[in-house]
Chain A
Amino acid sequence: MNLTIEQLHRSLELADYICDEELVVTVYLALKLGRPLLVEGAPGVGKTEVAKALARVLQTDLVRLQCYEGLDENRALYEWNYQRQLLKIQIARNSCNDAELEKSLFDPEYLLERPLLKAIRAGRQVVLLIDEIDKTDPEFEAFLFELLSDFQVSIPELGTLKAVHIPVVVLTSNGDRELSDGLKRRCVYLYIDYPGVEKEVRILQVKVPEAGETLVREVARAVHYIRANLDLKKQPSIAETLDWARALVALHAGALTPQNMDRTLNLLLKNRDDQQAVRTEPGLEQLLSRSREAGPGGDAASRCACGRHGA
């Protein structure tokens, strides 16, 4: 990677990923030091998007491993194509000697590559996204830790396969479970918080270019006000802000009004209690006027101290 920090910043923005300098420096270091990048933050702040944008910047493939409860090595690394092997045995019965048959059964053509092996065996450097690592079991995390240490894997029948091109690894976590110190120690760490008003305005301008300037600013301020002042069960993410803005554009809204907010609120808040809470206290009219009063920076008079909101 021969990009400078400035070039990386520009490239990420060209790949439609709006980011601040802290994020760029962190990603740059992960690339420069050849370390996995561990990205944490609330759902919907753009963690997965970092990996996608990186793949676009590096003009390479994105290999994604979606983690879930009970994910094991077979599903993550490799599996032998058991059914094909059985068929081969049936076909080859009595037609060749046993030793040859056994040898041919464990040929790489019978190997089912799962994302981790695919990233290791890729012909060029790819971006390996290990999404929602906190959903896996600690045992799998330990296995992953080993794999990420030396990027090689031993397959008993084939021997050790070593990565020709070390992949760029991005791990994401919603913080559901504390990750092991060992894994964290190996990674460069990035925490993505909800964006400020200006950053969200820029994101909206890039992702929803059809929305007018007034609408974009009002949407960003209203969302910022909600995140900073209301203690909801689920804070609106960037993805939901975008959906909301698109819905408002579809209704030909040039600016926010209590009426169009009421009709589209279900795109911003995905929980009935939260919708009810916003409609009753502070109420849509109040919400709109308070978010407008908060000014361009979006700093409301009071800040929620529920501990869920970043500075």
Chain B
Amino acid sequence: MDRVTRVVARVEAEGMNSLHHNLAGFIHVLRHLGLRVSVAEALDAYQALTAVDLMQKERVKAALQAVLVKDRAGRALFGLAFDRFFVTPEEKRRRQQLRRQWEEEQAIQQQQAAAELQEAVRQWHPDYQFTGEQVATFARLPSEQRRRFKEIMGRMRGNPVNDPHDLIAQVIQSSLNYWRYYLMKNRVENQPPDAVHTGREDLDAVIAGVAADFYRDPDEQIMHADMQNITGRDVDRMTALIQRLSAQLASRLSRRYRRSRLHRQVDIRRTIRRNLRYGGTPLELSYRARRAHKPRLLLICDVSASMARYARFVLQFVYGLSSAVQEIESFVFSEDLERITPFFKHGRNFTETMTGLINESRQWGQTTNLGAALQTFERLYRPLLKSDTHVLIVSDAKTIAPEKAAGLLAVVRRQAREIIWLNPVPEREWQHLPGLAAFREQAGMFECYTPAHLEDILRRQLKKI
């Protein structure tokens, strides 16, 4: 029997409870929670386990953490996953049982919701087919909202129009769309946040548990909270977070110089002059000074009505960057574009800067017209764009005349190095935003409504700046 067959036979004989199996399962869970674990790291993990006493749980945890998690952010997730995964078989069974119960309850709720919906439209459209997502949205609504929804349907019954089928279908569609969006933005209590499930019952129980626990941690909550929902004391905490993130980028921009592509070049004239005392033998070389290369950053922030709830934090971010780094050009826009760079040059604090800005700018809370804004930019500020300028746009992309705006954005794109677009609308909603696809052709667009998103973008997308 060859070696591979022997190993496979041994692993199969040990069944699901072998070290290999458990480790592979655990790594699978980590990947589904968003941690990147390579095959090489998985092999390291196995080797690490052979180097520590498996009976000492804390050591096993430390060993796996050392080889599987390579950044600070992942450590919290790893800790929760480890504590939930490596439990006694009885505990594992109990948790699976709980999850099964939860799934059954969900299924019953879905059935009831489907029946209620069907009943509500029975008179007009007995064969109307609701999508799974619509049923799920309806099932998650609070009872008061469900009752109102059915009431609306009832009222329509007494007010027939020429073709009630289409109308009802449209009302249902738009109403459920609204609620789906609302529920997603205001995650209902006990609703586990997004985590990709594996389809294996035992692993999914761990993933769901970890995801729910993770967001209970106050630090993680604020990191993953939608900035528009922040109120009260959390505003200060969020402000501190945004300050920290903008300071991170500011320090990188002010300190980091991209190296010139030129290698060190000998300055012949200075070298000869310097070495005259050695009879012209070039003992001491002089080099041409390397060109320090600072990246240029241009910020364009949407402060229209639809962005109003994000504006405070967006401006906090802009303030943090612009007041620390001289080379940043900043603009705000809604119906038109205004340059706000001079407001950050006086060394004033955030409140004073914002007061000056709000008093003098006419853009706050207006409708959005990115096209007009970009036209103004093209007319007045085009020279600011260089081939090494990184343009950072913060906007929800809800603009009038998106096609025209996309065309003008393409012009900006051709003159700049790249466009990075931070969009506070969740990515899964992008398909419903008209014109957004055209913007994405010109800009790298990233969903960004929580500090965690912002941190991730700064770490990954902006690291080349």
Contacts and interface: CB of A to CB of B under 8 A. Distances in A.
B58 A33 contact: no
Most A-side CB within 10 Å, residue of B66, B240, B283, B459: B66
A95 interface: no
A17 interface: no
B281 A90 contact: yes
Interface stretch (B47-55, B367-375, B398-406, B432-440): B47-55
Interface string A270-311: 000000000000000000000000000000000111111011
A26 B460 CA distance: 26
Nearest to A188: B66
A307 B241 contact: yes
A29 B283 contact: no
Contacts of B257: 69-70
B38 A307 contact: no
Contacts of A185: 38, 40-41, 70
A102 to B, nearest CB: 17
A190 B66 contact: yes
Given A137-B259, A176-B251, A29 B451 contact: no
Interface in A14-42: 21-22, 25-26, 28-30, 32-33, 35, 38, 40
Contacts of A304: 237, 240
A187 interface: yes
A305 B218 contact: yes
A300 to B, nearest CB: 14
A87 B279 CA distance: 12
Contacts of B219: 303, 305, 307, 311
A42 to B, nearest CB: 10
A259 interface: no
A92 interface: no
A184 B76 CA distance: 18
A191 B62 contact: no
B350 to A, nearest CB: 14
Contacts of A82: 285
Contact of A177 (B38, B222, B252): B252
Contact of A178 (B63, B283, B459): B459
B277 to A, nearest CB: 14
A306 B240 contact: yes
A241 B25 CA distance: 43
A26 B251 CA distance: 31
B237 A306 contact: yes
Contact of A29 (B66, B222, B240): B66
B58 A21 contact: yes
B282 A29 contact: no
B66 A21 contact: no
A123 B38 CA distance: 35
A189 B251 contact: no
A177 B462 CA distance: 10
A306 B219 CA distance: 8
A308 B36 contact: no
A29 B62 CA distance: 10
A139 interface: yes
Nearest to B48: A29
B244 A5 contact: no
A219 B446 CA distance: 45
B462 to A, nearest CB: 9
B283 A86 contact: yes
Contacts of A38: 70
Interface string B62-82: 110111011110011000000
Contact of B259 (A29, A139, A311): A139
Contacts of B66: 25-26, 29-30, 188-190
Contact of A303 (B51, B218, B290, B459): B218
A177 B63 contact: no
B70 A187 contact: yes
Contacts of B285: 82
B31 interface: no
Nearest to A184: B70
Contact of B62 (A21, A87, A178): A21
B200 interface: no
A32 B51 contact: yes
A308 B244 CA distance: 8
Contacts of A32: 51
Contacts of A61: none
Contact of B48 (A33, A87, A190): A33
Interface in A50-97: 69-70, 82-83, 86-87, 90
A189 B69 contact: yes
Contacts of B44: 33, 35, 188
B251 A175 contact: no
B346 interface: no
A305 B255 CA distance: 27
A25 B62 contact: yes
Contact of B237 (A184, A305, A310): A305
A231 interface: yes
A150 interface: no
Most B-side CB within 10 Å, residue of A70, A90, A189: A189
Interface string A218-238: 000000000000010000000
A25 B222 contact: no
13 contacts: A21-B58, A26-B63, A28-B52, A29-B48, A29-B51, A29-B67, A32-B51, A40-B72, A70-B257, A184-B70, A305-B222, A305-B237, A306-B241
Given A29-B66, A303-B218, 4 more contacts: A22-B62, A26-B62, A177-B256, A177-B463
Top 6 nearest A-B pairs (CB, nearest first) are A25-B62, A184-B70, A306-B240, A26-B66, A22-B62, A305-B237
Interface of B: 36, 38, 40-41, 44, 47-48, 51-52, 58-59, 62-63, 65-67, 69-72, 75-76, 218-219, 222-223, 237, 240-241, 244, 251-252, 255-259, 281-285, 290, 451, 459-460, 463
